[in-house]
Structure formats: C-alpha cells, structure tokens
Homo-oligomer: A and B are copies of this chain.
Amino acid sequence: MPEIERKFLVTALPDGLGEGDAIDQGYLAIAPDGVETRIRRRAGAATLTVKSGPAMIRVEEEIPLEAARFDALWPLTEGRRLEKVRHLIPLEHGLTAELDVYGGVLAGLLTAEIEFPSEAAARDFSPPPWLGEEVTGDATYANQNLATLTAAPGRRPG
C-alpha cells in the first residue's frame, strides 16, 4: 500500500521539544531512474536502505548494518550526506509529525512530515500553526536532492 504523507516547511520550533535523535544519512549511489541506496545511523543503529524511484511500484528494503560495515561505507557517501535531528511530535487524532532539523550546510532548514492512515485523513488534516508552506511532492525537498546541496534551499520557512 502506498504511503500517504504530507510534508511542510516549519515556521518555528514547537515548544517542549526533547533532544530528538541525531541522524547521519549518506547516499551511496542514486540511479537516473531514482533508485537510491543510502546508509543511515540513528540512535546508534545503522541500516542500509534501498528505495525505488518515484515512477516505479514502490519498493523499500531496509537492511540492518553492523557498525563496522557502516564505518567502512560512510566514506563512500562523501558529498551526498545529510545531518539532521529528528523529533517525533504527537498531533491530534493520533497522528505524529516527524520534524527534521537539518544541520551542516543545510542549517536553517526545518521540515515536518506526517503520515496518514487514509486519503480522507490526509485531506481533512488541519496543520498546527508551527507548520508553514506545504512542500508535498516538491522534489527540492526530497532528501535525495537535499543531500547534494551546499546550502539550504532559497525558499525559507514562513
């Protein structure tokens, strides 16, 4: 079943944020048809994920990675990396926002993604005031593309 998600820029950090999880994410390679292979370390656990391109039937396989393998592969992602801190924020109706605070060259970029159980729920969603412009489907904010930028995208929150 395809995931139903909406993505927003974030105008201001909501109150009461905890420390969040630091995520180091790097792309090993991205094919012209959008197939991507990336490695990620979050809260000490490493994974290698393969995702299909947008035009294909969605495939996503997440493979656990030993720490030593992650360390061996990380240098191969040079120039294709993201640093971010992820906060999980409970919303009404049992929804959760994944708020990503980007670091490094993307410092200043804040995005939030919300996954919905149905298209109706996605349509009826009323964004809380800290969510700004919607960027659902905007390739600029796809992590695969953000990873190769040298600065945060020009369009700023608000």
Contact = CB atoms under 8 A, between A and B. Distances in A.
Interface residues of A, number: 25
A35 B28 contact: yes
Copies of this chain, count: 2
A115 to B, nearest CB: 21
Contacts of A30: 29, 31
Contacts of A31: 27-30, 80
A36, A50, A56, A75 interface centre (most CB from chain B within 10 Å): A50
Interface of A: prevailing SS: mixed
Interface string A16-47: 00000000000111110101110000000000
Contact of A73 (B61, B69, B72): B61
